[in-house]
Amino acid sequence: MLAGYVMRHSTAEQLHVQVLATLPHDATMYTEGLEIRDGVLYEGSGLVGQSRVRATALSSIATLREATLPAPLFGEGLTVAGDRLWQLTWTSGMAIERDPATLAQRRRVTYQGEGWGLCNDGHRLVMSDGSDRLTFRDPVTFAPSGQLEVRLDGDPMRGLNELDCASGVIWANVFQTDRILRINPGTGVVTGVVDASGLLSAQPQSPGDVLNGIAAIPGTDEFLVTGKHWPLLFRVRFVPSAPGG
């Protein structure tokens, strides 16, 4: 539904994925969070009994360290904010603060509702809960400080999932679609829609193995994108689509 609406009617800029390189990705990772900080790729993986957070060297894609979440916790999005790594849980109403250097848990903080995606814009955390709303949170206390309704041509964009904050905008995967939204953090207006379809066209997938994972590569206009149980990471650039294409 989103795809058809966007292509025919939206005033938002239409973008597509230009693949620059492919990298191996652990297909056991049910990707819920993806972020790059200081040459390290942090990834959060979900599912009860399988949830974990992993730190990988970006240069070699070699695992540096990993921490698991005990059942019944279902791991979700994550972000690094200074000397803290925050990791969400889906329905437990709990955020876990970790040491980004060791991934050791420091404390747990409660919140209302579900946890889906998380990113850090340099001043505050931005959190999604699967609806059309984003919640701003304090990077130290995790206390809420405001909300933002996301709209595309006036229509609510529900299903906001994994997030990335980069270059003054918010990028959001949309659950069970191949679309990534570029969102103005001041207004909630969707200013661009990325068509990321076809990345795994030659790979067998189950219905739950959807696109979900975007991480800006610092100092570039490039991103890493992947999905749940995907065997590959894609280094990409988002470029304007041809009119009518």
Q: Are 85 and 79 in contact (CB under 8 A)?
A: yes
Asked if the structure places residue 74 within a domain, the reply is yes
Q: Return the number of other C-beta atoms located less than 10 Å from residue 25's C-beta.
A: 21
CA 18, chain centre distance (Å): 19
Which domain CATH number covers 115? 2.120.10.30
pLDDT single digits (tens) 107-118: 999 999 999 999
Read off the tokens for 240. Answer: 């304007």
- Mean pLDDT score of the chain, rounded to an integer? 92
- Torsion, CA 209, CA 215, CA 217, CA 219, rounded to 10: 160
The tens digit of pLDDT for each residue in 162-204 reads 999 999 999 999 999 999 999 999 999 999 999 999 887 655 5
Weakly modelled stretches of the chain, pLDDT under 50: 1, 3-7
214 in a domain, yes or no? Answer: yes
| pTM of structure | 0.93
Q: What is the number of domains present in the chain?
A: 1
CB–CB of 43/36 below 8 Å? Answer: no
- Give the percent of the chain with pLDDT over 90: 87
Query: Under the phi-then-psi rule, with left for phi > 0, alpha for psi from -120 to 50, and beta for the rest, what region is 176?
Result: left
Q: Is the residue at 225 inside a domain?
A: yes
Residue 245 lies in a domain: no
* Contact assessment for residue 149 and residue 136, using Cβ atoms and an 8 Å cutoff: no
The domain containing residue 232 runs over which residues? 2-240
